């Protein structure tokens, strides 16, 4: 697979919005992104973020998290993504002046000249830049002591099988095992403070199945055995003192 293929895929997705490109139904998208966004903010606040915080949304995509959620809870938000079309979409749909977007290759940003951030959100991005994840985290360790992360559940066998399909390969999907990602953060000087495995609904879930299974989501999430079927891991990492 060409290195340009995932970049082209996400740039095309940015032209129409990631929600439309990725989800089978808007009801499913609203539930998944809305709920997980709230979880991300709550984890950030548990780590010490507040309304005066300056946060970075690295790999912000089309700005869904930054515009819908982060800008409402934090003083200022900087969003970076390498897809120009996604950044244009993010800027066009920004409704607050405290959020700023830039098109940058996040694997090459030199954070040594950046301001310090009270927290960094890595929301579904690291598995798209897996080969550079360790370098990115090492650089981020210079500018923040808190990182909030969402990643697909790479321990889920169905997820690993899906990543062999053409559509997942075009998107550059290669998920981390849970312990694998925690190890990368540990080597960068961070330790996990909070970990949750959440969400019963893959992006391709049809509306009828979503309504059927929605009452069971919390049952799966709160059961040590059943939560293995949930689709994402969410962490709050803090820098080692």
Residue 14: band (very low, low, confident or very high) from pLDDT cuts 50, 70, 90 = confident
151: phi then psi, degrees, rounded to nearest 5: -145, 150
Residue 22: band (very low, low, confident or very high) from pLDDT cuts 50, 70, 90 = confident
CATH numbers and ranges of domains, the chain: 4-239 (3.40.50.150)
- Whole-number pLDDT of residue 1: 41
* Alpha-carbon distances of 49 from 6, 118, 190, 231, rounded to whole Å: 33, 7, 17, 26
pLDDT at 88 over 50: yes
- Average model confidence (pLDDT) across the chain: 93
Average pLDDT on 139-157 reads 95
Indicate the range of 5-14, 27-36, 125-134 predicted with least confidence.
5-14
- Spatial contact of 169 and 163, defined as CB atoms under 8 Å apart: yes
The string of DSSP letters for 82-133 reads S-HHHHHHHHHT---TTEEEEE--TTT--GGGSPP-SEEEEES-GGGSGGGH
């Amino acid at each position: 697979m060409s290195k340009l293929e995932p970049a082209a895929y996400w740039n095309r997705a940015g032209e129409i919005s990631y929600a439309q490109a990725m989800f089978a139904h808007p009801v499913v998208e609203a539930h998944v992104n809305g709920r997980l966004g709230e979880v991300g903010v709550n984890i950030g606040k548990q780590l010490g973020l507040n309304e005066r915080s300056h946060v970075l949304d690295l790999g912000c995509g089309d700005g869904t998290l930054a515009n819908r959620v982060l800008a409402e809870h934090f003083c200022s938000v900087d969003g970076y993504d390498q897809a120009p079309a996604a950044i244009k979409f993010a800027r066009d749909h920004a409704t607050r002046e405290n959020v700023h977007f830039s098109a940058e290759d996040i694997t090459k940003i030199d954070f040594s000249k950046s301001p310090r951030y009270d927290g960094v959100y890595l929301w579904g991005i690291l598995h798209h830049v897996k080969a550079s994840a360790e370098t990115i985290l090492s650089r981020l360790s210079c500018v923040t002591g808190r990182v909030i992360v969402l990643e697909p559940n790479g321990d889920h066998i169905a997820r690993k099988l899906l990543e062999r399909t053409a559509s997942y390969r075009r998107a550059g999907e290669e998920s981390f095992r849970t312990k694998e990602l925690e190890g990368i953060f540990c080597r960068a000087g961070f330790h996990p403070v909070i970990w949750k495995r959440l969400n019963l609904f893959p992006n391709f879930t049809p509306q009828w199945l979503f309504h059927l299974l929605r009452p069971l989501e919390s049952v799966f999430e709160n059961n040590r055995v059943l939560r293995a079927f949930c689709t994402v891991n969410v962490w709050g990492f803090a820098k080692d003192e």
